[in-house]
Amino acid sequence: MILLVKIKKIDFYKEYNKTFIRIGVLYKMKKRLEKIKEIFLQEKQIDVSTLSQRLNVSEVTIRRDLDKLEKEDFLKKTYGGAILLESNVNDNELIQLLDNKADPIKNDRELIAEIVMELIKDGESIYLGSGLTSIVVARYLKKRNRKLTIFTNDLLVASILFNTNQLKVVLAGGEMLDSFPTMTGVLAEQLIDNFYLQKAFIEVNGVDFEYGYSLNSFAEVQFIKKLFKNCKEHFVIADHTLFGKVAFSPLGKLNDFNNVVSNIKIPVEYKEYFFEKDIALYNSCNFS
């Protein structure tokens, strides 16, 4: 009888330990998923390898986590990583786009904006698209009060350029994306036929040797491709963090564009590629 009681106690503690371990594993997974969500809400897209290094877990574990979050309609898996689904960006994050003091690459974006200022001539009609760096460019344009006509489909860019003496702003109408206040669709595309532009500055979400340039939105890709027909020169804007990444919708191969504006930190292999293909790469460097 005593032996029987001892066995029950041993079994009880075994089951208790198993339950405790199981709870610990679930707790760690929950915290890891919360951290992954935070990363995607901030960066919109990231690859498996980078997540694995940041969270100090295996790539197999990260892929399982991404599978779970994809089933929750939080993100969509892509080749080598995933992107945030547009419906998961809230209004507070749009406010953060306008107040990017905590932006880890704020200085890099400002240096890129300085280059764009040099590429634009007074009197030109240009397109400025959506994105964090494009917002910085818009701020520079307003501060320097350039004499330009700016066509945009981004409400944030338009709001920054509001009430500026020499800047004329044309805002495309249409359907608004869920994740960003960006106008796309048939109505926005129809407006393009009424303009001719000297330069277009398109901020992309991914730059990759195999998959080329890509954006998070298929609708925005369609809008930009329509824009190309009425624009003389096209400039890709991409900071160094976007190289080696692939977003949801392809915009074109790397050699489809003759001009790339970035910062000095981009990978050497991409610099060499642009040089070999005779693609103009405008780099930024702060000598102060």
For residue 202, give the CATH number of its domain.
3.40.50.1360
Place 284 in a pLDDT band, splitting at 50, 70 and 90: low
CA separation for the pair 279, 147 (Å, rounded): 28
For residues 105 and 185, membership in a common domain is answered with yes
Average pLDDT, stretch 157-168? 85
For residues 48 and 181, membership in a common domain is answered with no
For residues 141 and 81, membership in a common domain is answered with no
Of residues 248 and 275, the one with the higher pLDDT is 275
Place 7 in a pLDDT band, splitting at 50, 70 and 90: very low
Average pLDDT, stretch 186-199? 88
- Domain presence at residue 40: yes
Of residues 21 and 78, the one with the higher pLDDT is 78
The residue written with tokens 């809230």 in the block is: 90
Flag whether pLDDT at 5 surpasses 50.
Answer: no
CA separation for the pair 135, 145 (Å, rounded): 15
**Domain at 37, CATH number:** 1.10.10.10
What integer pLDDT is reported at residue 20 of this predicted model? Answer: 45
For residues 124 and 202, membership in a common domain is answered with yes
Flag whether pLDDT at 8 surpasses 60.
Answer: no
For residues 104 and 228, membership in a common domain is answered with yes
Of 39, 62, 87, the position where a domain reaches its end is: 87
Over the stretch 209-228, which tens digit does the pLDDT of each residue have? 999 999 988 889 999 999 99
**Do 107 and 286 meet the contact criterion of CB atoms below 8 Å apart?**
yes
Max mean pLDDT among 83-92, 102-111, 112-121, 175-184 falls in 112-121
- Domain presence at residue 63: yes
User: In this structure, what DSSP letter does residue 182 have?
Assistant: B
CA separation for the pair 71, 59 (Å, rounded): 18
For residues 53 and 132, membership in a common domain is answered with no
CA separation for the pair 96, 224 (Å, rounded): 25
For residues 173 and 247, membership in a common domain is answered with yes
Task: Among 34-38, 110-114, 176-180, name the one with the lowest average pLDDT.
Answer: 176-180
Flag whether pLDDT at 2 surpasses 50.
Answer: no
Cβ neighbours of residue 89 closer than 8 Å, sequence gap 6 or more = 41, 44, 178, 179, 180
Average pLDDT, stretch 68-85? 83
Of 37, 68, 87, the position where a domain reaches its end is: 87
Domain that holds residue 146: 91-282
Q: How many domains does the structure of the chain reveal?
A: 2
User: In this structure, what DSSP letter does residue 23 have?
Assistant: H
Mean pLDDT of the chain: 82
- Domain presence at residue 287: no
For residues 216 and 81, membership in a common domain is answered with no
**Rounded to the nearest 10 degrees, what angle do helices 48-55 and 2-43 cross at?**
120
Which tokens sit at 47?
Answer: 């690859």
The angle formed by the CA atoms of residues 247, 200 and 144, to the nearest 5 degrees, is 110
CA separation for the pair 139, 160 (Å, rounded): 6
Flag whether pLDDT at 61 surpasses 80.
Answer: yes
CA separation for the pair 217, 65 (Å, rounded): 23
Of 87, 110, 136, the position where a domain reaches its end is: 87
